[in-house]
Amino acid sequence: MKKFALPLLVAGILLTSCDPEKKPEIVNLEVVVQPVFGAGNAPVSYNDASYAMGTDTVKFTRNDFVLSEFALLDEQGARVDIRNEYAYLSLPNRNSFTLPTTIAAGQYAGFAFAIGLDSTTNHGDPSIWGGSHPLNPAVNNLHWGWTGGYIFAAMEGYYQKDGAQTPWLYHIALLENRMEVVVETPLDLTDFKTLTLQLDLEKFFKAVHALSPNEDGDFSHSTFDNGLAHKLSENLSQSFQFASLENQTP
């Protein structure tokens, strides 16, 4: 009997792994963020293209983020947390990340995440993170150095002021400006999928508060800014929307 044990086992493994009907029990999720200006438009062309926004004309040069507290929403709308995962995005080049294969395969009703970090992580020792970890200051360039804490979203570009190209810069930081993003949409995660979200940069200037570099100030480091960073954070948290969900290409 023993003689057959090994061949049987091998055959078993082969059979299982070849079964085309077999669906995984746990899956990962790749998330791609695609920057656009105006819903449904072509991806933003960084550095050179100008976008009209009311009386302003803006360019984008930097959209960097630290993300954390990922969750899926189940069909009752409750959060299924994906803990201890962090991502750093630097659009348009570094525009994706993959959440690990710990997600129970199934149907979900949405995806949520935070732009920014909880207080403990934000003020923890930044030198503990490995060479390529998203929170390593040498990877993300979003750590404020000795003053402590990370910039959650670094938004930069140029606009036209009195006919000349002038920079605008908004660095959104500090706990009170941490952003919760929730994208409600049916998500069939019964297999390994890629979720593409659009970041609508037009909404960054007007989702909740209509703001313009010319009229409301062209820079903020989140302090002494008459609440500008906070308003921008409220806009940014409303600027993400569902674009597509597709099978991962092997």
Partner 1 sequence: MTNTRWLVFGLLTLLVVSCGDNWGKKPHVTTPYVLQVPAGFPQPALPADNPLTVEGILLGRQLFFDPILSLDSSQSCGSCHNAAFGFTDHGLTYSLGVDGSVGDRNSMPLHNLAWHQTFFWDGRAPSLREQSLEPISNPIEMKEDVLHVVEKLQRQPRYQDAFTAAFGDEEVTPERMGLAMEQFMLTILSGGDSKFDRFIAGTESLTTEEALGLQLFNGESNPNSPTPGADCFHCHGGALFTNHKFMNNGLDSVLTDLGLGGVTGLTTDDGKFKVPSLRNIAYTAPYMHDGRFQTLEQVIEFYNSGVEPNSPNLDPSMIGFIQTHSGSTRGLNLTLTQRQAVVAFLNTFTDTRVETDTLYQNPFK
Residues that bind partner 1 (CB under 8 A): 6, 47-48, 61-62, 126-127, 129-133, 136-139, 141, 143-147, 156-158, 164, 166-169, 218-219, 221, 223-226
Task: Copy the structure tokens of residue 156.
Answer: 């930069």
Q: Which is nearer to partner 1, 172 or 243 (CB)?
A: 172
* Minimum distance, C-beta of residue 88 to partner 1, in the bound complex (Å): 13
CB nearer to partner 1: pick between 97 and 170: 170
Residue closer to partner 1, measured from CB, 106 or 137: 137
Helices within the chain (DSSP H only)? 2-18, 119-123, 137-140, 201-204, 213-216, 228-237
Q: How far is the CB of 164 from partner 1 (least distance, A)?
A: 7
Can you tell me the distance from the alpha carbon of 1 to that of 79, in angstroms, rounded to the nearest whole number? 50
User: In the bound complex, what is the minimum distance in angstroms from residue 146's beta carbon to partner 1?
Assistant: 6
> Who's near 123: CB < 8 A, 6+ residues apart?
148, 149
Nearest approach in angstroms of CB 4 to partner 1 is 12
The full DSSP string for 138-207 is: HHH--B-GGG-SBEEEEEEEEEEETTEEEEEEEEEESGGG-EEEEEEEEEEESS-EEEEEEEEHHHHTTS
204 within 8 A of 33, measured Cβ to Cβ:
no
Closest contact distance (angstroms) between CB of 6 and partner 1 is 8
Instruction: Name the residue nearer to partner 1 (CB basis): 163 or 250.
Output: 163
- Toward partner 1, which CB reaches closer, 73 or 211? 211
**Quick one: tokens of 146?**
């000795």
